[in-house]
Copies of this chain bind each other. A is one copy, B any other.
Amino acid sequence: MDQVKGQLQYAMRTSNALTFPLSAPGSAGMEACLVNLVEPGDTVVVCRNGVFGGRMHAIVERAGGKAVAVDDPWGEPVDPNKLEEALRANPDARVVAFVHAETSTGALSDAQELARIAHAHDCLVVVDAVTSLGGVPLEVDAWELDAVYSGSQKCLSCAPGLSPLSFSERAVERVRARKVPVQSWFLDLSLVMGYWGSGAKRAYHHTAPVNAIYGLHEALRMLAEEGLEAAWARHRRHHEALAAGLEAMGLALRVAAAHRLPQLNVVSLPAGLDDGATRRRLLDEYGLEVGGGLGDLAGQVWRIGLMGAACTKTNVMLCLAALDEVLAGAAEGAGAGRGVAAAAAAYANA
């Protein structure tokens, strides 16, 4: 357990003592951060630019908080100016919540800048780092992020079911100073701390999913072996080759280049394409599972993951070759090997 905590501190770039894997998936990690830090009546500014910001908003309301939404179009990052305005308009806000890497749209927001603004208004920040951890820079301490949750199954390439969490000392103090108990017994960090805390004695709280924790231990060992910066660079390199190939095939990436997630490439579907049947064909003939659009983007986009162990040159080239075949006739540039050629050129120039 102490090793896993140390490995997570490395991966999240933090020295936070309360850094551990929650015994449930990322959605429970989201809920854990919010229900521990939000008390009934608290004003919480929630940035929404995709499915997961919307989920945070719903959880804040269920926790009895007053959720103030800052909305941005899907596919765009959170606009820091809008957050600033919302905080000026809501001086009683105590928490700001946003998604670092929106898995539903492929957009990366500027977590450092959003946290800076939140702190200038005396708010704690809750950050969804489900898809960012291990794939793009995430600096929990340097950016002063107060409560961060992630998932085991994204760029860590581990089995799903655990949610790495990290709480700053400031956030822990907020939990300790609560006036009413956390509504969830299972997610109450003041209890979980007795189990995952740093004391010699561990107080039983629940039966931990030990096999899953061993899996996470190995995934984090592999990340450390490669090196965190090297993993970030690898995601960037293969993303650039994939993006070059997709664009050479005439497939538009949904997110502007400056805000694209390397690990989640969202492409607009060619008009008239049968979404489900084509993704089925990629799966059946190539073993490639491409994500469909979520929420408002269902039927409009594909989400091509390049995460963790799956982020390799082999997968980039296979994906482009497969798309070349299945989209021939549907996408203007498909059917002539242009995507593969463009990616090869990008690799050569990298």
Q: Which of A8-16, A180-188, A240-248, A303-311 contacts B (4 or more CB under 8 A)?
A: A180-188
Assembly of this chain: how many copies? Answer: 2
Report chain B residues within 8 Å CB of A151.
207
Asked whether A282 is an interface residue with its Cβ less than 8 Å from the other chain, the reply is no
In angstroms, Cα B204 to Cα A28, docked, is: 14
Inter-chain contact B186/A28, CB cutoff 8 Å: yes
Contacts A62-B181, A183-B62 given; indicate if A206 touches B161 (C-beta within 8 A): no
**Complex: chain B residue closest to A204, CB-CB:** B294
A63 in contact (CB, < 8 A): yes
Describe A's contact surface by its main secondary structure: loop
Stretch at the interface among A18-26, A140-148, A323-331: A18-26
Which chain A residues numbered 179 to 230 have a C-beta less than 8 Å away from chain B?
A: 181-186, 204-212, 215
B23 pairs with A161, CB closer than 8 A: yes
A43 is an interface residue with CB less than 8 A from chain B = no
> A312 on the interface (CB 8 Å rule)?
no
A105 within 8 A of B: no
- Is A24 a contact of B186 with CB atoms below 8 Å? yes
Inter-chain contact A211/B159, CB cutoff 8 Å: yes
Does A63 lie within 8 Å of B161, measured CB to CB? no
With A182-B62, A183-B63, A184-B62 as known contacts, state yes or no: A210 contacts B28, CB within 8 Å.
Answer: no
Query: Would you call B183 and A27 a contact (CB within 8 A)?
Result: no
A102 within 8 A of B: no
B206 and A26 contacting across the interface, CB-CB below 8 Å? yes
**Distance (whole angstroms) from the CB of A145 to the closest CB of chain B:** 22
- Docked-complex contact B62 and A207, CB < 8 angstroms: no
| A212 touching B159, Cβ below 8 Å | yes
- B27 near A24 (CB under 8 angstroms)? no
20 further contact pairs, Cβ within 8 A, besides A28-B186, A63-B183: A23-B25, A24-B24, A24-B186, A25-B206, A25-B207, A25-B209, A27-B185, A27-B207, A28-B28, A31-B185, A55-B185, A62-B181, A159-B209, A160-B208, A161-B161, A161-B212, A183-B183, A184-B184, A204-B294, A212-B212
Q: Name 8 A/B residue pairs within 8 A (Cβ), A-sorted.
A: A23-B28, A55-B185, A59-B185, A62-B181, A159-B210, A160-B208, A161-B209, A161-B211
Could you tell me which A residues sit within 8 Å of B by CB distance? Answer: 23-28, 31, 35, 55, 58-59, 62-63, 151, 153, 159-161, 181-186, 204-212, 215, 294
